[in-house]
Chain A
Amino acid sequence: MSRDDSKKVYLITGFLGAGKTTLIKNIIEGHPDKKIGVIVNEFGKVGVDGSVIAKDGLAVHEITNGSIFCSCLQATFAQSLIEFSALPVDILLIEGSGMADPSNVDAILESIKDKTHAPLIYTGDICVVDAANIDKLVQVSRPAEKQIKYADYIIISKADKVDASKIDAVKRLIAELNPYAAIEVASFSAVSGDILDKVRVFGKEGAEIRQSCNTPSNRPSIIYIKSESGMDEERFKRFMQSIIGDAFRVKGFFKLSGDWKHIDGTTDEFTIKPINIQRETSEFVIFPKTDENSVRNIKQKSAEFLHSAI
């Protein structure tokens, strides 16, 4: 297995009709020199989106019967990723459905690391939102809200169908849900330039890279915690409880009380789940809320936590 075989993996989320397929077509047309694979999972629209893309002669795998991030279908999704890792593709696009929960993708990729034929590198989460109805959708659909919260790059599509004040309202809504993501307004999901080049996954690389994405410059600093030895689970939980209210998002893999765990959460909840992986180091990233108090509290609690752990 060489690094040259590695495939960049992008997740594309958004409700049915938001413009995901159009975006994927644009990406494919914009990269004639790249081989692109697509995993399609459109809840409730079996065979429709998938067949459209298949006509372009690409490798397409459809996953049916609900959402790929529902536990019942994670096995199918994982198997599909493993199969794609053996194919001669450079880029793998995962088209998640409106029901897709993006919070498990990094855990699934991590857990199949030793089963893939070439490295799959998670490179970013693009969420397409329909300017006309996203305000209603986030009220009723939890995944719609979560997809915005987890996105690295958000495209407000169908901007030509609404007026400027509506666009501003949607931008405010998105910024409130996700102060970290870059936002682009587009008609028909026709984004400017090479979107794949603009997307960077949130991570320890931090704010510097984000600056190049046409995003606000006042983004708070990201806090990154690393440990070679792991921690006691109860102590870690107490630390999480002390910071979660001030965090916009947390994510990472940590060895807790001798076992590897996947940690994931947003302001109001977090989960610590067992994961069947082996890593060299425990890593954990906290994205503070944008206010000064939250940043200060998280920094202080993190310092105390690291001090007590040593």
Chain B
Amino acid sequence: MTGKERIYSTMRHEQGIDKVAWVPFAGIYAGKLTGHSTTDVLTDEDKLYESLVKVNETYKPDGQPIMFDLQIEAEILGCELMWADKTPPSVKTHPLESNDDIPDYIPKEYDGRIPVALNTLKRLKNGAIGQNTALYGLICGPFTLASHLRGNDIFMDMIDKPEYVKRLLDYTADVAQAMAGYYIDAGADVVAVVDPLVSQISPIHFAEFLSDRFARIFSFIRQKGVFSSFFVCGNATRNIEEMCKTRPDCISIDENIDMPSAKKITDRYNIVIGGNIPLTSVMLYGSQYDNMKYVIGLLDAMDHHNLIISPGCDMPYDVPPENVVGVRQAIDDTEAVRGMLKNYKIGAQQKEIEIELPDYDKLERPLIEVFTIDSATCAACGYMVDAVKVAKQHFGDKIDFIEYKAVNRENIYRIQKMGIKNLPCIFINGELKYSSIIPDRKELFEEIERYLVKK
């Protein structure tokens, strides 16, 4: 089963799918893997394409977003943006802040940065990635777009000028529908309506102001034969039920919502739920171990029907790639990872276990040690081992090479004794050289040459 088929089966609410689907939200984070800045991946289609290909290779996602930027529509409609190094741009000015106008311009598919997203989507769709991976087109939800246009006053307006707010939301829902149409025509498998602000109002206000507009957008996407997802951010616990009533195929939540409790509600409506690996405490600051543990906790806490594992939102730019690798592995090979985590814990408690490390100062020739989760099942681990195998072929007997897989206790204790926090990684003569990011041939060969010269 390809990742794309897995997403399709999940969205069709099928039972007995081989494993739970995995959708890493690598928006600005895609640039992290290729060294491109946030601005690069949100404005330059070649750099975006290159970065998304790298995301696909490294993380083997079942589904992946094209561009995670809720300001594309607002920018076209007259909001000035402020760009930042490691976060998406933010809205700086609100054209409707001091007037009660309702705009009528609907962005065209050639406006602003829409072509960057659509052209990249088409390129991916027409290649191998499009065959194997479900591609997500992300649009700004009508409530968040209305707040971009109107500013903070939108909340007071809901009390003082409810009819104005409703007309504004009718307009922003029209924009959202047009955007959904562009993504669908360009080949999106899933359209995600991203509306973080939904968590900030009560269910009563959701029902009064938003229900009809969201239902209309999801109905439009459904009629076009494409799947829909409703992304929310923040503590939207009280709104989950109202969100379900708007009939998306999936609801995606972040760490502020207790996922098992929310799934009880989405299950009643036969809606898929996606989430909710914490972005900062687990993905950014946690170790690979923490990420694997969190995901196994999610998999254990919920029935796997109608379930997708994903980060709570767009991943922070500096998330260590090995943490994302660990998540994929925890989903693919849950029992092996469960055993590995157990042994990690035991190993940490039994420091006296005898593992003999090589005497790195007295080696006859450079020793390359590759530590992996398991190169047979973990894609990133396999690439890393392959890179070293190529070097071994080239250098022959001049170097030694060994792989340690974290599949048995002895190797896990060795990994701990080496002080390794993340897998896969490459050590040369006991020195950490590469962690998670696979070195290219030239880079690795030059590094080995340096050790040969030292010898």
With contacts A44-B147, A78-B285 taken as known, whether A274 is within 8 angstroms of B92 at the C-beta atoms is no
CB of A276 within 8 A of CB of B286, answer yes
- Is the CB–CB distance between A46 and B92 below 8 Å? yes
Q: Does A169 contact B (CB under 8 A)?
A: no
Q: Given A274-B278, A275-B281, are A43 and B152 neighbors across the interface (CB < 8 Å)? A: yes
Residues on the B chain within 8 Å of A44, using CB? 91, 94, 147, 151-152
Closest residue of chain A to B237 (Cβ to Cβ) is A269
Q: Establish whether residues A137 and B278, one from each chain, have CB atoms under 8 Å apart when the complex forms.
A: no
A108 adjacent to B156 (CB under 8 Å): no
By beta carbon, the residue of chain B nearest A114 is B285
Partner of B279, one of A74, A143, A259: A74
A297 within 8 A of B: no
B155, A141: Cβ atoms closer than 8 Å: yes
CB-CB under 8 A for A141 and B200, given A136-B159, A271-B258, A274-B294: yes
Q: Are A276 and B155 in contact (CB under 8 A)?
A: no
With A98-B152, A140-B205: A71-B312 Cβ-Cβ less than 8 Å? yes
Interface hub of B90, B233, B278, B312 (most chain A Cβ within 10 A): B90
Residues of chain A contacted by B282 (CB below 8 angstroms): 274, 276
Contact yes or no, A70 B281, CB < 8 A: no
Inter-chain contact B84/A65, CB cutoff 8 Å: yes
**CB distance A142 to B201 under 8 Å?**
yes
Task: Tell me, rounded to whole Å, the shortest Cβ–Cβ distance linking A157 to chain B.
Answer: 16
Whole-angstrom CA separation of A65 from B199 in the bound complex: 16
Those of B60-91 within 8 Å (CB) of chain A: 82, 84, 86-91
Point out the residues of chain A lying under 8 angstroms from B91, CB to CB: 44, 46, 65
The residue of chain A having its C-beta at the shortest distance from the C-beta of B209 within the complex is A140
Cα–Cα distance between A144 and B159 once the two chains are bound (Å): 14
Interface check A75, CB cutoff 8 A: yes
Residue B314 at the chain A interface, CB threshold 8 Å: yes
By size class, the interface of chain A is: 35 or more
Q: With the chains together, A71 CA to B255 CA distance in Å?
A: 7
Contact with B along A98-113 (1 / 0, CB 8 A): 1101010001100110
Interface footprint category on B: 35 or more
- Given known A-B contacts A44-B152, A46-B91, A70-B234, A140 and B313 have beta carbons under 8 A apart: no
Chain A neighbourhood of B256, CB < 8 A:
71, 101, 271
Verify A98–B155 contact, CB threshold 8 A: yes
A136 CA / B158 CA spacing, docked (Å): 9
Contact with B along A260-275 (1 / 0, CB 8 A): 0000000001011111
Q: Give the distance in Å from the alpha carbon of A112 to the alpha carbon of B280 in the complex.
A: 10
CB interface residues, A 92-137, toward B, < 8 Å: 98-99, 101, 103, 107-108, 111-112, 115, 133, 136-137
Complex Cα–Cα for A1 and B280 (A): 24
Known: A71-B256, A136-B160, A140-B205. A64 touches B82 (CB 8 A): yes
Given A44-B152, A98-B152, A137-B155, also A75-B318 (CB < 8 A): yes
Instruction: Give the chain A neighbours of B88 by CB distance below 8 A.
Output: 65
Q: Which residues of A contact B294 (CB under 8 A)?
A: 274
Which chain B residue lies CB-closest to A141? B155
- When C-beta atoms are compared, the residue in chain B nearest to A145 turns out to be B202
- Shortest B48–chain A CB gap in Å is 19
Is residue A16 contacting chain B, with contact meaning CB distance below 8 A?
A: yes
Q: Which residue of B lies closest to A139 (CB)?
A: B159
Chain A residues whose C-beta falls within 8 Å of the C-beta of B312 in the assembled complex: 71
Bound CA span A235–B195, Å: 36
The complex places the Cα of A137 from the Cα of B278 at a distance, in Å, of 29
A137 to B158, CA, bound (A): 9
Cα separation A104 to B322 with both chains bound (whole Å):
26
A279 contacts partner chain B, Cβ-Cβ < 8 Å: no
The listed residue (B160, B205, B278) touching A273 by CB distance below 8 A is B278
Contact of B280 among A17, A46, A74, A141 (CB under 8 A): A74
B234 to A, closest residue via Cβ:
A70
